[in-house]
Amino acid sequence: MSLYSHAFAGNPIRSRTPKQSDPFSPQSAFQTLKTILVSHSQEPISPDFKVLPFRKGKPLAGTTADSSADGPNWHLGWLSLRECKDFLENSEVSLSEDSLVYLGCKYEDDVVYWAIDVSAASGLVSELGARQFCFVELRTLMVATDWADAKAMGELAVAGHARALMEWHSIARFCGFCGGKTIPMEAGRRKQCSNESCKKRIYPRVDPVVIMLVIDKERDCVLLSRQSRFVPRMWSCLAGFIEPGESLEEAVRRETWEETGIEVGEVVYHSSQPWPVGPSSMPCQLMVGFFAYAKSLEIDVDKEELEDAKWHTREDVTKALTFAEYKKAQKTTANKVDQMCRGVEKGQSLSADFNVESGELTPMFIPGPFAIAHHLISSWANQVDNGDGAQMKEGGSSLSNL
């Protein structure tokens, strides 16, 4: 499996921030936005503005039929600024410069992209539904995304970045220093305390998490764990938040010992992944992935953190990768998103649909290709011996691309 980037990475409209004088920059685009909102002109503008509505953390999405008979493909429900203004005209949401958040731009398309929270607009769901748009959980879109489709992965990355910003705006309404109300600044890219005696600057929150595949070189096996919230038979890597004052490597060793009693020596970096599908209180986690090499073998599970932890052989892990029907799960979820957008399917809790396998049930499976855990595990499973007994540290999942 070859990917150019992890899910939610590789955002096509966030490759770089334009300089302030550039008309595509947050500062210049914001000034143009303010002019447009007070103007009644119908003349086209350059750059064009497109808006992505969010409702309770869910981005607006639609679907299009795939001529290759591979099933429907979802896409983000971008609205023009005029369309957005018309939809919100008689709603509880005011379209103003403070309600729009700058997301990025595409020079080649002459477009600047924005997001807006329309959760308070009660009648908007039915109006957009008439155009076969619906608000879909980001985690559902993640499972529905064809990870071999670079354009679809780009859409997912945009949606992830936008959700992280919108959720941060919803929880950063007050200053943590003085309690004053915060106001958006720099086109929503940061906030500032409105208290004149404070004016503290507040930036979007990112919560770093280490995620590690613990390896026993001698026995050629890996340590995988289960949490009580996992679907049946799913096993994954250990993970934990970084504490103040510790390095990434120290966090790997501490978390592994606290949760399983295993001591870790060498720690090797693999890759990182933004993860904007956690709880709204943590709008965007940054998963930092490592291989961690065990110095001890006896497991002592912390039952408050984990349901179980076990050593798994390369044969077991390879079999789990072989039998899990990731592609089938992706197509099934894509079809359900299509039904939702056409008003046929109302349910949006689709994460369990990923647990689909043909024939006899296998004893275990691992998270799908949208998760960094999958690539840590598959990289190890596809490693080969280089002739002197030492394992190569670059596996079969295009580590250099990630």
Digit-coded pLDDT (tens) for 193-244? 999 999 999 999 999 999 999 999 999 999 999 999 888 889 999 999 999 9
Rounded distance between C-alpha atoms, residue 79 and residue 147, angstroms: 25
35-82: pLDDT as tens digits: 888 886 677 788 899 999 999 999 999 998 764 556 688 999 999 999
Measured in residues, the chain has a length of 402
Structure tokens at 255: 């978390």
The residue-averaged pLDDT of 157-177 equals 95
Residue type at position 75: H
CB 1 within 8 A of CB 381: no
Closest C-alpha to 351, from 231, 177, 233, 205: 231
- Return the structure tokens found at 223: 């340590």
Distance CA 338, CA 289 (A): 33
Positive or negative, the CA dihedral 192, 195, 197, 198 is negative
CB-based burial label for 15 (10 Å; 0-12, 13-18, 19+): exposed
CA distance 78 to 94: 18
Range from 57-61, 88-92, 117-121, 375-379 carrying the lowest mean pLDDT: 88-92
Measured distance CA(188)–CA(169) in Å, rounded: 8
According to DSSP, the residues that pair with 60 across neighbouring strands are: 135
Mean pLDDT, residues 286-302 taken together: 97
Residues 6+ apart with CB under 8 A from 314: 220, 221, 222, 380, 381
Cβ-Cβ contacts under 8 Å for 318 (sequence gap 6 or more): 381
Q: What are phi and psi of 56, to 5 degrees?
A: 50, 45
Alpha carbons within 13 angstroms on the beta-carbon side of residue 135 total 20
Task: List phi, psi (to 5°) of 337.
Answer: -65, -40
pLDDT band at 389 (very low <50, low <70, confident <90, very high): very low
d(CA 146, CA 133): 20
Q: Please state, as a whole number, how many other Cβ atoms lie within 10 Å of the Cβ of residue 293.
A: 16
Confidence band, pLDDT 50/70/90 cuts, at residue 4: low
Q: How far is CA 330 from the centre of its chain?
A: 16
Query: Which residue intervals of 193-346 are DSSP H helices?
Result: 248-260, 314-323, 326-341
Return the SS3 of 344.
Answer: coil
Mean pLDDT across 248-274 = 98
Question: Residue 1 — very low, low, confident or very high, per pLDDT cuts 50/70/90?
Answer: very low
**For the packed helices 314-323 and 372-381, what is the interaxial angle rounded to 10 degrees?**
120
Peptide linkage before 47 cis (omega within 30 of 0): yes
Give dist(CA 338, CA 12) in Å, integer: 24
> At 322, is the pLDDT very low, low, confident or very high (cuts 50, 70, 90)?
confident
- Using CA atoms in the order 72, 75, 79, 84, what is the torsion angle rounded to 10 degrees? 90
Cα–Cα distance list, 323 to 39, 314, 319, 355 (Å) = 59, 14, 6, 11
What DSSP character marks residue 319? Answer: H
Instruction: Return the structure tokens found at 186.
Output: 């720099």
Q: Cα(first)–Cα(last) distance of the chain, in Å? A: 11
Higher per-residue pLDDT: 355 or 150: 150
Is the pTM higher than 0.85?
A: yes
Predicted confidence at residue 334, as pLDDT, reads 92
Q: CB–CB of 75/158 below 8 Å? A: no
Which 3 state secondary structure label does DSSP give 62?
strand
Of the listed ranges 115-119, 288-292, 353-357, the least confidently predicted one is 353-357
- DSSP-assigned letter for residue 188: G
User: In this predicted structure, what is the pLDDT of residue 74?
Assistant: 94
pLDDT surpasses 60 at 191: yes
Q: How far is Cα 266 from Cα 263, in angstroms, rounded to an integer?
A: 10
Task: Answer yes or no: is pLDDT of 351 > 70.
Answer: no
Report angle CA 334, 129, 67 to the nearest 5 degrees: 40
